Amino acid sequence: MDKTPKVLFLSRGSASRAQIAEGFARAIPIGPCAKWNQSITHHISTQQPHEVASLFRENFRYAVGLCDEPRERHPVFPFTPKVLTWSVLDPEIATSEPEAKRQVFRQVRDQIRSRVEELIETTNQPASALAKAHAAAA
């Protein structure tokens, strides 16, 4: 039986924040050589967010709700022993000017990466512990 803990990242509205978090959770344990200075979209372009209801039968050790406080309520996921909430700006509401939008996405990306790194560190899990991550929009 695989003992790797599973992590669910939930975000309100679009799943972009959850997909970014999933991308980091999968890539950071793989090794520090990942080229995260490049655009994250390359790394998450094949990921597909799940519908929350389709995950109710899954067992997750951690559920991480990403929302833009105070604009949004934190998404919830039942039956998970450890529920974490992270306040992260929704990059989808950024201005329509392309460069400004890219800058907001970069800020959100960096904030999420930092939080995922903290999660990996504080869980005291082996390096590959969070490689079983999933993203969903609530």
Any residues with CB less than 8 A from the CB of 74 and at least 6 apart, and which?
Answer: 65, 67, 85
Q: Is 1 within the bounds of a domain?
A: no
pLDDT in tens, 18-58: 889 988 888 876 544 334 333 444 456 666 667 777 777 78
Q: Is 113 within the bounds of a domain?
A: yes
Q: What average pLDDT does the segment 67-79 reach?
A: 77
Range of weakest confidence among 74-83, 116-125, 129-138: 129-138
Residue that is written with structure tokens 């790194």 in the block: 117
Domain count, the chain: 1
Q: What does the block give as tokens for 114?
A: 């930092």
Q: Is 24 within the bounds of a domain?
A: yes
Q: Is 11 within the bounds of a domain?
A: yes
Q: What average pLDDT does the segment 83-112 reach?
A: 88
Any residues with CB less than 8 A from the CB of 19 and at least 6 apart, and which?
Answer: 9, 44, 47, 49, 135
Domain span at 37: 6-137
CATH number at residue 129: 3.40.50.2300
Q: Find out whether the peptide bond into 32 is cis, omega within 30 degrees of 0.
A: no
